[in-house]
Amino acid sequence: MPLLQEFDFDIQHRPGTQHVVADYLIRIENGADAVDGDDDFCDGAILHIEAENPEQPNTPHEDKWVTEMSTFLSTGLPPPRMQTDEKKRLAVQSRTFCLIQDTLYHKGIDGIWRRCIYNDEKEAILWEAYCGITSGHYAEDVTMRKVWQAGLWWPTTQQDAQQYCRECDFCQRLGQRTEQACMPHQPILPLEPFSK
């Protein structure tokens, strides 16, 4: 309190209807409607939050293999439309997969768990690994290792990295020189000793 005595100020009380922000927040907390009449609190829409319905999964972007594997790991039952050999294959493959908080992970041969990603995420991940800040337009094996070092995995990582590197417009324009593109070498004969 001695610190506040240095300042010259008056304490003024504002009733709830004049102190619009506090009044609005108290009414929201109590479950009442917004302030009636002349309330011009324009930021009230910011406080409105709509949550997604967890009963309706967002499945348009999910791949078939991710859905099948997640269902098999969570329920222990393969999809009913599968053939017997497909069910066996799914059971064998499921040994290297795991569900952690409804997210599918794959265990590589190095023993590291990597998050399985969807098709719509591939392009951005490959761009970051190949053209991003820490990249240098390296070959497909380096790009693939960068994806794995980031803790991400999908079944066609190697093929997608190879295709992405081959289709890079920047690399196609500034590719390595071939012997045909080089100028022919002509020796330069010095006219005086030690001249260049």
Report if residue 189 sits inside a domain: no
Percent over 70 (pLDDT), the chain: 64
In angstroms, the Cα distances linking 129 to 147, 162, 173 are 6, 12, 20
Q: Among the listed ranges 51-60, 82-91, 177-186, which one has the minimum average pLDDT value?
A: 51-60
Mean pLDDT computed over 134-160 = 86
Average pLDDT of the residues in 89-115: 91
Does residue 121 share a domain with residue 75?
A: no
Tell whether 65 and 110 lie within a shared domain: yes
Query: Is 105 inside a domain boundary?
Result: yes
> Of 116, 131, 162, which residue sits at a domain end?
116
SS3 content of the chain, % helix, strand, coil (to 5): 45, 10, 50
**pLDDT value at residue 25:** 58
The answer to whether residue 93 is domain-embedded is: yes
Residue-range definition of the domain harbouring residue 137? 117-172
Q: Could you tell me if 109 and 121 lie in one domain? A: no
> Is 10 in a helix, a strand, or coil?
coil
Within a domain: residue 111?
A: yes
160-185 pLDDT, tens per residue?
Answer: 989 988 888 887 777 665 666 666 66
Q: 123 with 168, same domain?
A: yes
Amino acid at site 175? G
Same domain, 65 and 111: yes
Instruction: State the total domains in the chain.
Output: 2
* Contact assessment for residue 74 and residue 57, using Cβ atoms and an 8 Å cutoff: no
Does some domain include residue 126? yes
Report the alpha-carbon distance of residue 146 to residue 97 in Å, rounded.
21
State the Cα–Cα distance between residues 153 and 106, nearest whole angstrom: 7
Asked which of 79-83, 84-88, 157-161 is least confident by mean pLDDT, the reply is 79-83
Do both 82 and 107 map to the same domain? yes
Residue 106: what pLDDT?
Answer: 93
Instruction: Verify that 87 and 103 share a domain, yes or no.
Output: yes
Whether residue 3 is contained in a domain is answered as no
Tell me what pLDDT residue 112 has: 92
Rounded to a whole number of angstroms, the distance between the first and last alpha carbons of the chain is 85
Residue 22 lies in a domain: no
Long-range Cβ contacts of 129-132 (<8 Å, 24+ apart): 129/161, 130/161, 130/164, 130/165, 130/168, 131/168, 131/170
pTM over 0.75: no
Pick the more confident residue, 1 or 167.
Answer: 167
| Residue 103 maps to a domain | yes
Are residues 153 and 111 part of one domain?
Answer: no
Select the more confidently predicted residue: 183 or 193: 193
Considering the domain architecture, whether residues 145 and 166 belong to the same structural domain is answered as yes
pLDDT of residue 55: 44
